[in-house]
């Protein structure tokens, strides 16, 4: 393997290893992590949170939260904690999580070229799932097994 191919493979492996997976349930709040202890961040920092690399979730520009370009789907549902910024903690809280919030999020700190990638998976809670299944509380795969068993029994005794 040539040195260039080896380097590309190493970068891809490192990139994938830095992806954090976060799980949430519809309606809950979730914290998306982003932190760095670089001394340069002790002063006013600029941090960009993006969804699917292009949609603005939350911007911190020179130590101030900016909402001018925030994607409408996130308006009023995202907050950060300015007291933590001086410690290098730029995590955000996403409230009232929706299925449509599932996907990749990126926290980018341009001053130090640092990225944190998070993949959010949003699932429905048990009550929502039960309502979709007709309120039975039994997953469809279990019902299928019961019907197959009953069909098999009826064929044996026919």
pLDDT in tens, 79-97: 999 999 989 999 999 999 9
At 75, the pLDDT band (50, 70, 90 cuts) reads very high
Residue with tokens 């960009």: 48
Q: CA 137 to CA 112: how far, in whole Å?
A: 50
Contact indicator for 95, 29 with CB cutoff of 8 Å: yes
Which pLDDT does position 22 carry in this prediction? 96
User: Could you report the per-residue pLDDT of 2-12, keeping only the tens digit for each?
Assistant: 443 333 333 33
Q: Show the beta-strand stretches assigned E in the chain.
A: 19-25, 30-32, 47-51, 55-61, 64-66, 78-80, 92-94, 103-109, 114-123
User: Could you report the per-residue pLDDT of 14-69, keeping only the tens digit for each?
Assistant: 344 468 999 999 999 999 999 998 887 777 789 999 999 999 999 999 999 999 99
Which pLDDT does position 143 carry in this prediction? 42
Q: Where are the domains of the chain?
A: 18-124
Q: Which CATH superfamily is domain 18-124 in?
A: Immunoglobulins (2.60.40.10)
100-117 burial code (b ≥16 CB/10 A, e <16)? ebeeebbbbbeeeebebb
Which pLDDT does position 131 carry in this prediction? 54
- Helix or strand or coil: residue 74? helix
DSSP 107-146: EEEGGGTEEEEEEEEEE--HHHHHHHTTT--S-HHHHHHH
Q: CA 108 to CA 137: how far, in whole Å?
A: 42
User: Could you report the per-residue pLDDT of 134-158, keeping only the tens digit for each?
Assistant: 554 444 444 444 444 444 544 455 5
């Amino acid at each position: 393997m040539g040195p260039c191919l080896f380097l590309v493979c190493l970068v891809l492996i490192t990139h994938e290893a830095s992806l954090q997976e976060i799980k949430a349930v519809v309606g809950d709040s979730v914290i998306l992590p982003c932190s760095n202890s670089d001394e340069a961040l002790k002063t006013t920092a600029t941090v960009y949170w993006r969804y699917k690399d292009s949609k603005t979730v939350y911007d911190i520009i020179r130590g101030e939260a900016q909402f001018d370009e925030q994607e409408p789907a996130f308006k009023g549902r995202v907050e950060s904690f300015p007291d933590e910024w001086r410690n290098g903690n730029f995590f955000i809280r996403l409230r009232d999580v929706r299925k449509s919030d599932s996907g990749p999020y990126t926290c980018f700190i341009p001053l130090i070229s640092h990225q944190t990638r998070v993949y959010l998976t949003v699932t429905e809670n048990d009550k929502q799932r039960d309502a979709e299944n007709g309120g039975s509380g039994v997953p469809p795969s279990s019902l299928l097994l019961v019907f197959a068993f009953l069909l098999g029994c009826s064929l044996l005794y026919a």
